Amino acid sequence: MALDYAAKAQLVSRIPRTHARQAVVEQLLSLLRSGAYGPGDRLPPEPELMRLTGVGRSTIREAIRGLASMQLVEVQPGRGTFVSSGSSQSLDDPKMLLLLSDRQAVVDLIEARTLIEPHIARLAAERATTEDVAAIGAALAAQVSASDHAAWREAHLAFHEALARATHNLVLTRMWSSVATFLRNSPLISPAQPSTWDSVGRALHERIYETIAAQDVAAAVAAMDEHIADMMGFLGRSPGGKTDSPEG
Ligand SMILES: [Zn+2]
């Protein structure tokens, strides 16, 4: 039997907004890198960028926010967006910039987290001291009480860093620091909404904390596996108000 209209319509999938955002970020980066826009120059205003690129206002804003988070541009309310004076230094590291603006790098990032974080959870459950558990718990409490996304993000990074430290493995701790650099700086991981943390995300972090505190190794690994799987889901998740960035 042929599919009816409604079922067929379900076959049409959403085109990720991230693609447009990434394209805008990359284009602006290349204009900065080529020197077409130098320190102190004002970028075209929002409506002009919308007209020139053909993308919507929110996408332009996210792209600008991404560049601002990398301190390449400075948004001056009421005046416009200006190329930062230190931008040429940051631009000296094109490899880093390319990495930070490349969607593939986000997939690479999750792959790396898939490899190291269950192991971090295992060792943390085996080795965490009372102080380690307290540090993990404090970061969790800070996440729960964060009033905005910036505060949540810092608390979240502190949570995972405390986990890494609890392994008492210096190399794993350093590896986590590299992951954190991406989570902190990638323009692709800058959700517009502060509500990054849904009830599932919160429950998973609580479970990771509780299982490590209880030194329940298998349960800690299982909780972390679920956390990673939940993040993976962001990559293929369709609309519904959620960010498409795997920040978790
Ligand atoms: Zn997390």
Give residue-wise pLDDT tens across range 34-66: 778 888 999 999 999 998 888 899 889 988 887
Q: Beta strand pairing status for 80-83 and 73-76?
A: antiparallel
- The rounded Å distance from CA 202 to ligand 1 centre is 9
- Measure 143 CA to ligand 1 centroid, in angstroms: 10
C-alpha 106/C-alpha 112 separation (Å) is 10
| CA 65–ligand 1 middle distance (angstroms) | 22
Can you tell me the distance from the alpha carbon of 190 to that of 78, in angstroms, rounded to the nearest whole number? 23
Q: Look up the pTM and report it.
A: 0.59
* CA–CA separation, 69 and 80 (whole Å): 16
The number of angstroms, rounded, from the C-alpha of 83 to the middle of its chain's C-alpha atoms is 23
Residues of the chain with CATH 1.20.120.530: 103-236
Residue type, 153: R
Q: What per-residue confidence (pLDDT) applies to 6?
A: 72
Contacts of residue 231, defined as CB under 8 A and 6 or more positions apart, other chains included, come to 110, 113, 246, 247, 248
Could you give the residue ranges of the DSSP H alpha helices within the chain?
5-9, 17-34, 46-53, 57-69, 87-90, 94-101, 103-127, 130-145, 149-165, 170-185, 199-213, 217-236
Range(s) of the chain covered by CATH 1.10.10.10: 17-94
Centre of ligand 1 to C-alpha 156, Å, is 6
Euclidean distance between the first and final Cα of the chain, in Å?
42
How confident is the model at residue 190, as a pLDDT? 53
| Domain 17-94 indexed as CATH 3.30.530.20 | no
> Which architecture, in CATH terms, is 103-236?
Up-down Bundle (1.20)
Whole-number Å distance, alpha carbon 148 to ligand 1 midpoint, is 16
Instruction: Output the CA 248–ligand 1 centroid distance in Å.
Output: 4
- Convert 150-178 to b/e letters by CB count within 10 Å (16 or more is b): eebbebbbbbbbbbbbbbebeebbebbee
Stretches in the chain below the pLDDT threshold 50: 94, 192-195, 237-244
